[in-house]
Amino acid sequence: MNMLERTTQIKERFLQFKDWEDRYKELIQLGKGLSVYPEDKREDKYKVKGCQSQVWLYPEFKDGRVYFYGDSDAILVKGIVGILVNVYNDATPDEILATRPDFLKEVGITEHLSMNRSNGLAAMMKQIQMYALVFKSLQRS
């Protein structure tokens, strides 16, 4: 599945609910559905700086594609990590860099986040894009 299909799937998944309460529950379900985060990668170097909660994002680069593992100690934030991992996982660095997180606004998630969580989301996106840039530069080497 390509990134456009994944963002469309996320939009369909959330837009089926009319109120934020149901979308909030769906967000929590996404977090619960994350793959188990590797305990040996629960290090400071994989922590996302700028999040009030603890958030870890660990990337693997195989065969020109980036695979993300994520986790958080906060249930709602873990759901946000779940959305980002669902969309940006198993993509090329170029695909990651070309796909803006506009889908989050389209499903109403960003408008319901506190300032601290919005800053944390921006920090997560920055980290994902930074990993993509690093892996892209490694491809050229």
**Residues marked as catalytic:** 51
Alpha-carbon distance of 62 to 90, in angstroms, equals 9
Tokens linked to 47: 């922590």
Tokens linked to 135: 């892996």
Coil, strand, or helix at residue 37?
coil
Coil, strand, or helix at residue 112?
helix
